[in-house]
Structure 1
Amino acid sequence: MARNPEHTRQLIIDKALPIFNTKGYNAASISDITSATGITKGAIYGNFKNKDEVATAAFERGVEIVAGEIAKRVRMKNTAPDKLKAIIDFYEEYLNEPPIPGGCPVLNSSIEADDSLPFLRSRVIRSIALLKDSLTKIINRGILEGQIKREVDAEEFANFFYSTIEGVISVSRIEGDSRSFQLVKRFMEKQINAISI
């Protein structure tokens, strides 16, 4: 029975995501993807122009999964401070049990996305900007609704928040335990409490 082309494309993306996310762009091969999918190279190239396109689609799918999980947690909370704490809780869970093997696709791709991979770098930059923009909106709304102090610079706090989370995830993964994350989590919760009304 013939596969639906969209189903085949999605299968390739879903199987390629953990490969690129754990091995990295340079180490991952089309052969890895054919082994994981059971699909021939010809079928992969029938859906994607080249390895770059597969990697891009896999990265965007990874970001979609992470952003969807964050949005789900944020929607469950009523105040801006609680929404920010929910994001920290999500990343704590992510550190211990990532929904995508290999951890955060934005962090992983940031390490590789230098000048030699401009197609990936531009998407990483865009994804970081979207995540920071979402944080800025949560904080600004908190200010408007009287949950966060008016003098808080939303963009500044969002940049601090995002950079700190990504940094401590990287450190915790290298160290192989969550102690650094726990310490930073406590510090960040104090910062959130300090800006809250």
Structure 2
Amino acid sequence: MKFTPRSEETRQFIIETTAGIFNTKGYAGTSLTDLTEATKLTKGSIYGNFENKEEVALAVFDYTIACRDKIVEQALEKAKTNKEKLLAYIGTFNSANNKAFITGGCPILNAGTESDDTFEALRRKVHKVITDCRKELEGIITTGIAAKEFRKDVNAEKTALTLMALVEGGILLGRTTNKPAYLDSVLESAKEMIQSISQE
């Protein structure tokens, strides 16, 4: 029999209230007690709206990615050219913009590192997000090549993957060393890469 949550409103409240906890403590490290303490709801209320803690974790990941995507898309919408879109994408992750995202850092990095061997359903979600992000950046680059903003010999897929790797790697360096300047330095390299593929 398919599980049906008691209340979509309560379900959403649980997701939004616990998102920062999952993203900070980890999907395995977050306990049911963490959820009840944060929401002030009983264990029965949690499990009345989610089948288990794993289902909460998956819903939270979807929510954190939706929040992240909204910030990125708002930045891209302001850009007029494809080059500006790539620069806007990079710029959304600099240390000055950290507070705009869910507490705990990048959900892709956090969930991907944690789920690769232990939480297959979450790993699949991370894989899809990475694939979608690559396709979006690749599309911007391909369109930019057609518009003669970028050199025609640019490998769109390789460039998209490299930009993503620089962003995620910069976030990792900045957070683990507690030196935001490391993140910004890596992002500067990403901007230089964008300049290097430009026709200008």
Q: Which residue of 2 aligns with 1:156?
A: 158
1:29-68 equivalences in 2 (<5 Å):
29-68=31-70
Q: Identity percentage over the alignment?
A: 36
Q: Which residue of 2 aligns with 1:142?
A: 144
Q: Is the 8 A contact 1:95 1:169 kept in 2?
A: no
Q: Which residue of 2 aligns with 1:100?
A: 102
What amino acid sits opposite 2:147 in the alignment? E
Deviates more, 1:88-97 or 1:77-86: 88-97
2:55, 2:127 → 1: CA distance?
A: 17
1:87, 1:160 → 2: CA distance?
A: 13
What amino acid sits opposite 1:19 in the alignment? I
Query: What's the offset of the Cα at 1:99?
Result: 2.1
Query: What's the offset of the Cα at 1:94?
Result: 6.5
2:158, 2:27 → 1: CA distance?
A: 32
2:165, 2:186 → 1: CA distance?
A: 12
Q: Which of 78, 84, 95 is the aligned partner of 1:82?
A: 84
Q: Which residue of 1 aligns with 2:3?
A: none
2:178, 2:192 → 1: CA distance?
A: 25
Query: What's the offset of the Cα at 1:125?
Result: 0.9
Q: Which residue of 2 aligns with 1:182?
A: 184
The aligned length equals 194
Q: Which residue of 1 aligns with 2:14?
A: 12
1:87, 1:67 → 2: CA distance?
A: 10
Q: Calculate the TM-score normalised by the size of structure 1.
A: 0.93
The 3 A distance-change label for structure 1 pair 83 and 96 is: same
Q: Is the 8 A contact 1:16 1:55 kept in 2?
A: no
Q: Deviations over 1:173-197 (max 9, x none)?
A: 1111122223222222221111112
Query: What's the offset of the Cα at 1:101?
Result: 0.6
Deviates more, 1:50-59 or 1:21-30: 21-30
Gaps in structure 2 of 5+ consecutive residues: 1-5
Q: Deviations over 1:146-188 (max 9, x none)?
A: 2111111111100000011101110111111122223222222
Q: Is the 8 A contact 1:74 1:86 kept in 2?
A: yes
Q: Calculate the TM-score normalised by the size of structure 2.
A: 0.92
Q: Which contiguous aligned blocks of 4+ residues in structure 1 show a shift greater than 3 angstroms?
A: 93-96
Q: Are 1:28 and 2:46 an aligned pair?
A: no
What amino acid sits opposite 2:161 in the alignment? N
Q: Are 1:119 and 2:113 an aligned pair?
A: no
Gaps in structure 1 of 5+ consecutive residues: none
RMSD, aligned CA: 1.5
